Chains A and B, each alone.
Chain A
């Protein structure tokens, strides 16, 4: 999968994030260097509070770094306008959250439809794409249900459908199995692996080493720094 000659899909240089709360500075990320290539499946692992979610938020343009550079598809993200950032979140990034983050007042179908709606896609095409995505995650028969009428595992599958329906460049998943039992967790991991095999670029946060093994590459964070990188199971010391 890795192609050395191709430009990286994502490049981070010295990425730093500091949170300021009541005169307390929290250095959530301290100088992250990272490259993700098209078609890669990368896991981000590490103990609680080490900065995994923060990193994924920055990657997903949900937040901005305090310092450092972020190039998405060779474009410096810092120079993007608000509207451009919104467009990229809509078209190039699919986000999967630990707590699903489905909208409770919308049906399963409408939830999955949202990214396409915001893209201005015609209704007929939306219907077709949403149908495909729901079928892919095995939720086609629950299109009219509300999220509250589904189990946790089903909700997360809907969330996965929502993330992939827009055919984004990259899927970002923040502990997608965190709120699921092991059976449902396995099912969602299986889904991500299938998507990856179909060509999707996946970046997943997990602190569960079993799931990290699903990835081709695992990046280990500690205290806001990358301390270790492992490839397909074997451990490799960084720097």
Chain B
């Protein structure tokens, strides 16, 4: 412990004595670690953190497919939703939603808004309550009673200045008067960040529209005690019943089937590999940064050869010397990591601004304790990584020659050339890094762009929507 303290003190002194070297090394590392921290904060928010709903692992999206027709992703039609709701035994409930929108007037300029039309059990299934007012009742989810809207928090702030008196006020949505009954809590933007408000889906169960009009996405919550596999089997069985009950429609040669995708997978599945590739790319950048710093250290090791030889002559074992040099490099890496953290804090803001349309969970991206832990870990690993080779190299000095009068202190020119080369390759690597961030978009279109299609009937077509 005391040794560590001594090594730390000496490490700080060495870094302070060589401000040029320290600045270059810390900057190099800050860039490398900062890039990793920034991307990790995205990976952490998007891929690793559970969805911000209660027991999110029990939320699933329900999909249909016509395997034999090569249609792997089909939404629900109204009659199908009614049938499945009646027959299923696995879910607390099945909520349906579709894209909507229109022109909002009242209190200011008319505005084109993006809405989600949702069934009354949509919010309860997600276990999210209104921040102000309330969400929809089952009665409001019926035709003729559905002139009510719930506002997204950010939209409420932007459009209505966060005025709580908006509750109970009537605004006009595409020329129909609607009463604002609630505001959702900040950060709740399901199905995605483009939503401005929610309106009731209000299906006419007495007179549903055509079985071929697949426009509803279905979200369900597993009952407690029911596994994903059991629920999947349940859906599969219902699909088979459908073939028997409506043979004209679900002909066996079309192979109708219903299956589940965990909500988390559905939200982030498509960007996962892109994000991981990106993380790999910035990892590679850090590796190059480490190589550069290792070369700086190697060049400096020649200068420090005498000091190390003196220590060895006085009885410092090899391990002791390696440890001292490693302490210095880890210290350097931690300084770089702190710089990287600062860069990442700005960087994530930039990433969010530059982010490809439709990247899910953007609002959850933050530099939090997980990201801090990651940065710390990466810094220590980087410090050992770039410090080990120079330390091992320096720990076996030729005592006799080094300690003689005017012992040699040659820094190979080779190092410098190699270093230059590495800097060039690092710079060359950056543009792909940026473009792969831009490529981190889901292959599906965004909510906004599918509204026009989603609001019209789509006869048995494989339309893959953003809300899969």
- Tell me the residues in window 102-128 of chain A with beta carbons closer than 8 Å to chain B beta carbons: 102-106, 114-115, 117-119, 123
Contact status A162-B314, CB under 8 Å: yes
A91 and B314 CA atoms in complex are apart in Å by: 9
Contact of B405 with A by CB under 8 A: yes
* In the complex, chain A residues whose CB is within 8 Å of the CB of B312: 86, 89
CA gap between A162 and B318 in the complex, in Å: 20
- Determine whether the beta carbon of A103 is less than 8 Å from that of B317: no
* Nearest A-chain residue to B17, judged by Cβ: A105
CB pair B13 A105 closer than 8 Å: yes
Cα–Cα distance between A97 and B253 once the two chains are bound (Å): 95
Compute how far the CA of A97 lies from the CA of B320 in the bound complex, rounded to whole angstroms: 23
| Among A95, A101, A104, A123: residue with most chain B CB under 10 A | A101
Q: Are B317 and A83 closer than 8 Å at their CB atoms?
A: yes
Q: Size of chain A's interface in residues, with CB distance under 8 A?
A: 31
**Closest 6 CB pairs between A and B?**
A90-B315, A63-B400, A62-B399, A57-B400, A118-B315, A86-B317
B311 — nearest CB in chain A belongs to which residue? A114
Inter-chain contact A101/B17, CB cutoff 8 Å = no
What is the CA–CA distance of A89 and B310 in the complex, to the nearest angstrom?
A: 11
| B315 lies within 8 A of A54 (CB) | no
Residue B111 interfacial (CB < 8 Å): no
Q: Tell whether, in the assembled complex, residue A86 and residue B399 are in contact, meaning their CB atoms are under 8 Å apart.
A: no
- How long is the Cα–Cα vector from A53 to B401 in the complex, in angstroms? 10
The answer to the question of A184 belonging to the interface, with a C-beta cut-off of 8 Å to chain B, is no
> Could you count the A-B residue pairs with CB atoms below 8 Å apart for me: how many are there?
66
B436 within 8 A of A: no
Q: Are B14 and A63 in contact (CB under 8 A)?
A: no
Task: List chain A residues, Cβ under 8 A from B316.
Answer: 86, 114, 118
Q: Is the CB of A119 within 8 A of B405?
A: no
A117–B315 alpha-carbon span in the complex (Å): 9
Please judge, given known A-B contacts A54-B400, A57-B399, whether A105 and B14 are in contact too, CB under 8 Å.
yes
* Docked complex Cα distance between A105 and B308 (Å): 12
* Residue in A62, A90, A114, A123 with the greatest tally of chain B CB atoms within 10 Å: A62
Of the residues A54, A103, A119, A123, contact of B2 by C-beta under 8 Å: A123
**Is B403 a contact partner of A62 (Cβ separation < 8 A)?**
yes
Known contacts A54-B400, A62-B313, A101-B403, A82 near B306 by CB under 8 Å: no
Distance (whole angstroms) from the CB of A87 to the closest CB of chain B: 7
Complex: A54 Cα to B404 Cα, angstroms: 10
| CB–CB A103/B311 < 8 A | yes
Does B6 reach chain A (CB closer than 8 Å)?
Answer: yes
**Could you list some 28 contacts between A and B, CB below 8 A?**
A53-B400, A53-B404, A54-B400, A57-B399, A57-B400, A62-B403, A87-B315, A89-B313, A89-B314, A90-B314, A90-B315, A95-B314, A97-B403, A98-B405, A99-B405, A101-B306, A101-B313, A102-B310, A105-B307, A114-B311, A114-B314, A114-B316, A118-B311, A118-B317, A118-B320, A119-B315, A123-B2, A178-B405
Given A98-B405, A119-B315: A62 touches B400 (CB 8 Å cut-off) = yes
Min CB distance A51 to B, Å, is 12
Across the interface, A89 reaches (CB within 8 A) one of B3, B306, B315, namely B315
Chain A residues whose CB sits within 8 angstroms of the CB of B313 once the complex forms: 60, 62, 89, 95, 101
Could you tell me the distance in whole angstroms from the C-beta of B304 to the nearest C-beta in chain A? 10
B: residues with CB less than 8 A from A are: 2-3, 6, 10, 13-14, 17, 306-307, 310-318, 320, 399-400, 403-406
A158-183: contact bitstring with B at CB < 8 Å (1 yes, 0 no)?
Answer: 00001000000000000000100000
Q: What residues of chain A lie closer than 8 Å to B403, measured between beta carbons?
A: 62, 97, 101
Given A105-B10, A118-B317, 4 other A-B residues pairs in contact with their CB atoms under 8 A: A57-B399, A62-B400, A95-B313, A115-B315
A102 to B307, CA, bound (A): 8
When C-beta atoms are compared, the residue in chain B nearest to A91 turns out to be B315
A53 to B404, CA, bound (A): 8
A106–B306 Cα distance when bound, in Å, is 14
Note all chain A residues with C-beta closer than 8 A to B404: 53
CA distance A87 to B319 in the complex (A): 13
Contact A103 B400 (CB under 8 A): no
A123 surroundings in chain B (CB, below 8 A): 2
Max count, chain A CB within 10 A of own CB: residue among B13, B316, B320: B316
Q: Is the CB of B405 within 8 A of A117?
A: no
CB of A91 to closest CB in B, whole Å: 7
Contacts of A117 in B (CB 8 A): 3, 6
Residue on B with the closest CB to A106?
A: B10
Residues of B within 8 A of A82 (CB): 318
Contacts of A83 in B (CB 8 A): 317
Task: Please report the C-alpha to C-alpha distance between residue A102 and residue B310 in the assembled complex, in whole angstroms.
Answer: 8
Chain B residue at minimal CB-CB distance from A120? B3
| B314 CB contacts on chain A under 8 angstroms | 89-90, 95, 114-115, 118, 162
List the B side residues contacting A62 at CB < 8 Å: 313, 399-400, 403
Bound-complex Cα distance A104 to B13 (A): 11
Instruction: Please give, as numbers and ranges, the residues of chain B lying within 8 Å of A60 by CB-CB distance.
Output: 313
B382 to chain A, nearest CB (A): 25
C-beta contact mask, A136-153 vs B, less than 8 Å → 1, else 0? Answer: 000000000000000000
Q: Which of B10, B14, B314, B406 has the most chain A CB atoms inside 10 A of its CB?
A: B314
The smallest C-beta distance from B380 to any residue of chain A, in angstroms, reads 25
Choose among A86, A102, A106 the residue with the greatest number of B CB atoms under 10 Å from its CB: A86
Which A residues are CB-close (under 8 A) to B306? 101
> How distant is B359 from chain A, measured CB to nearest CB, in Å?
50
**A86 CA to B2 CA in the complex, in Å?**
21
Complex CA–CA separation, A102 to B33 (angstroms): 37
CA separation between A62 and B14, bound complex, in Å? 26
Q: How far is the CB of B300 from chain A (nearest CB, A)?
A: 13
By beta carbon, the residue of chain B nearest A117 is B6
**Whose C-beta in chain A lies nearest to the C-beta of B315?**
A90
Q: Which residue of A lies closest to B310 (CB)?
A: A101
Please, which residue of chain B has its CB at the minimum distance from the CB of A87? B315
- Nearest-neighbor residue (CB-CB) of A54 within chain B: B400
Question: How far, in angstroms, from A104 to B10 measured CA to CA in the complex?
Answer: 12
Contact A86:B315 (CB < 8 A) given known A62-B399, A101-B403: yes
Residue of chain B at shortest CB distance from A104: B307
